[in-house]
Amino acid sequence: MTRPQQPSEHPSPRPGGEGPGHSGDHTHHHGPAAPVSRHLRTVIAAVLIPFAAAVVVGLAVLWPGGAPAHHRSGVGFDQETQQGVVTRVVAMDCADAHAAQLPSSGDGSSAGAGAGSSGSSAPSAPSGQSAAGGCKKATVRVETGKDKGRQFDEVVQPDAPRQFHVKQRVVLAYAPKAPHDLQYSVTDVDRAFPLYLLAGIFAVAVVVVGRMRGVTALVALAVSFGVLTLFILPAVLQGSNPLLVAVIGAGAIMLIALYLCHGLTARTSVAVLGTLVSLLLTGVLGLVFIRWTSLTGNTDESTGLIHGLYPGIDMSGLLLAGVIIGSLGVLDDVTVTQTSAVWELHQADPSMGTRALYRAGIRIGRDHIASVVNTLVLAYAGAALPLLLLFSIADSGVGTVANSELVAEEIVRTLVGSIGLVASVPVTTVLAALVVAADRSGPPQPATGPGGVPRQSGALPAPRRPTGHRRKR
């Protein structure tokens, strides 16, 4: 009887140097990018390290240390606010409210007028409404601040866009210099809980689908938000040049987000280079056309309030900073996709040269351009939809609408961002093709047989001698 042959503890590698369990003809990998040679890593580092150092120095020099203090104007968002809750809502005649001089929220504009202004004049009966009946009186209790527990009444007009209900949480504007009965007014609804819930659903969806990559994406998002709120906005308020602040802030966001999400690899570094070149192009185009079209950046109540509170801020520079930061997110997506496409093409066919890699990669990029540009334009159009609706109501011509500063600002913002986005595809594809095609890492060493003799490609390993021995019956 013969003892069965025992399997070896260390099986021989498969052809091509692969370990056990891997097919010898599988060359397209979906894992991490294959490492490039030390020479190329040195070249990439020579470009990116000075840029990263400049970003760090810029952050250190321009770091604001918080927003500057100022005296509140009590207008719009620049007013003291507290939290409140509606405790009672009863019907009442609008004529009684007019006679009692109660504060009114019927025009829905108290959020921009400040506390006290909504009650500074008696509410008039709305057009088409009888003076008798139709109104409601809401009793609101202050929940935060030194006047916690204090209650006041506010009239809700029948045509008000926002109707209150009991236990509804609201935001209150506080005007300490107003008469006692008019110091508090309802300016908005407290939306904290639904917004936090929506953010939680978003985070869970990202983690469930993206797993660890989703976790790193959320961390990168938090870092980006931190750079925006702790550096960019306070630095602009401190009087620093908005364009310089935006470039440094965008550079920090780009470096942290890309390397955190995609790893410290040559592939990610090429995407960073492509994004950097595209951002520079976007900034130059934005600077030229914002000046050429004489855009001031002061086109609505918010920018007007900022200019009034901080006259030293360059509003046109702030507009350009918004263009750069707004383009960064879409550019990251395009450059990472194009770099990954070229890397995968090279791994699938290492014999492809620079030109062949570029042609194959640009074909993929064209499909990406068509969808992303449309997305960017529709996003800007959706944000400006109420403005476009006003021009439609006024029956203005296309030329008149486009020439107005409100619309011209959105046109310049959209087209400049789109040009930078389109340019990022060939720029990143060329950079990626040059890097992978010029890789100087040597060809893989041939597998060797017993005694160090090179084994022919595809040759199977020598059969092992059976280690057992025959046993007599």
pLDDT at site 67: 64
**pLDDT averages per 10-residue partition of the chain, 473 residues:** 44 41 40 58 80 90 74 64 89 70 52 40 42 73 89 83 86 84 85 93 94 90 90 85 88 90 85 90 90 84 75 82 84 88 88 88 84 74 74 72 80 87 91 79 47 47 50 47
**Cβ-proximal residues to 315 (8 Å cutoff; 6+ apart), any chain:** 296, 297, 298, 303, 306, 307
Assigned domain for 74 exists: no
One domain for residues 55 and 169: no
One domain for residues 139 and 282: no
Assigned domain for 323 exists: yes
Whether 266 and 35 have beta carbons less than 8 Å apart is answered as yes
- Sign of the Cα torsion 211, 215, 217, 218 reads positive
Q: pTM here? A: 0.67
CB count within 10 Å of CB 452 equals: 6
**Cβ-proximal residues to 325 (8 Å cutoff; 6+ apart), any chain:** 228, 232, 246, 249, 250
One domain for residues 396 and 351: yes
What is the distance between the alpha carbons of residues 108 and 160, in angstroms, rounded to a whole number? 6
- Sign of the Cα torsion 84, 88, 92, 96 reads negative
Whether 286 and 320 have beta carbons less than 8 Å apart is answered as yes
What is the distance between the alpha carbons of residues 122 and 99, in angstroms, rounded to a whole number? 8
Assigned domain for 252 exists: yes
The 3 state secondary structure assigned to the chain is CECCCCCCCCCCCCCCCCCCCCCCCCCCCCCCCCCCCHHHHHHHHHHHHHHHHHHHHHHHHHCCCCCCCCCCCCECCECEEEEEEEEEEEEECHHHHHHHCCCECCCCCHHHHCCCHHHCCCCCCCCCCCCCCCEEEEEEEECCCCCCCCEEEEEECCCCCCCCCCCCEEEEEECCCCCHHHCEEEEEECCHHHHHHHHHHHHHHHHHHHHHHHHHHHHHHHHHHHHHHHHHHHHHHCCCCHHHHHHHHHHHHHHHHHHHHHCCCHHHHHHHHHHHHHHHHHHHHHHHHHHHCCCCCCCCHHHHHHHHHCCCCCHHHHHHHHHHHHHHHHHHHHHHHHHHHHHHHHHHCCCCCHHHHHHHHHHHHHHHHHHHHHHHHHHHHHHCHHHHHHHHHCCCCHHHHHHCHHHHHHHHHHHHHHHHHHHHHHHHHHHHHHHHHCCCCCCCCCCECHHHCECCCCCCCCCCCCCCCECCC
Assigned domain for 225 exists: no
Among residues 190, 225, 242, the one where a domain terminates is 190
pLDDT at site 77: 62
**Cβ-proximal residues to 52 (8 Å cutoff; 6+ apart), any chain:** 251, 255
Q: Which whole-number Å values give the CA distances from 84 to 39, 101, 142, 174, 288, in the listed order?
A: 64, 21, 4, 11, 48
Assigned domain for 254 exists: yes
Assigned domain for 289 exists: yes
Assigned domain for 377 exists: yes
One domain for residues 84 and 46: no
pLDDT at site 234: 87
* Residue 76 falls in which region: left (phi positive, over 0), alpha (psi -120 to 50) or beta: left
Helix axes 266-292, 405-437, angle to 10 degrees: 150
Q: What is the CATH number of the domain that holds 340?
A: 1.20.1640
CB count within 10 Å of CB 422 equals: 18
Assigned domain for 25 exists: no
pLDDT at site 56: 92
State the burial class of residue 405 (Cβ atoms within 10 Å of its Cβ: 0-12, 13-18, 19+). Answer: middle
One domain for residues 183 and 44: no
pLDDT at site 16: 39
pLDDT at site 222: 92
CA nearest to 319, candidates 230, 420, 242, 378: 242
pLDDT at site 208: 95
pLDDT at site 28: 37
pLDDT at site 327: 83
What is the distance between the alpha carbons of residues 448 and 454, in angstroms, rounded to a whole number? 4
Q: Which residue type sits at 366? A: R
One domain for residues 57 and 123: no
pLDDT at site 194: 93
One domain for residues 182 and 302: no
pLDDT at site 121: 38
pLDDT at site 295: 87
What is the distance between the alpha carbons of residues 258 and 336, in angstroms, rounded to a whole number? 8
pLDDT at site 66: 67
User: How many distinct structural domains can be found in the chain?
Assistant: 2
One domain for residues 44 and 176: no
One domain for residues 344 and 406: yes
CA nearest to 118, candidates 150, 84, 83, 75: 75
One domain for residues 285 and 427: yes
Question: Could you tell me the residue range of the domain that residue 288 belongs to?
Answer: 38-64+233-437
One domain for residues 289 and 360: yes
What is the distance between the alpha carbons of residues 251 and 246, in angstroms, rounded to a whole number? 8
One domain for residues 244 and 330: yes
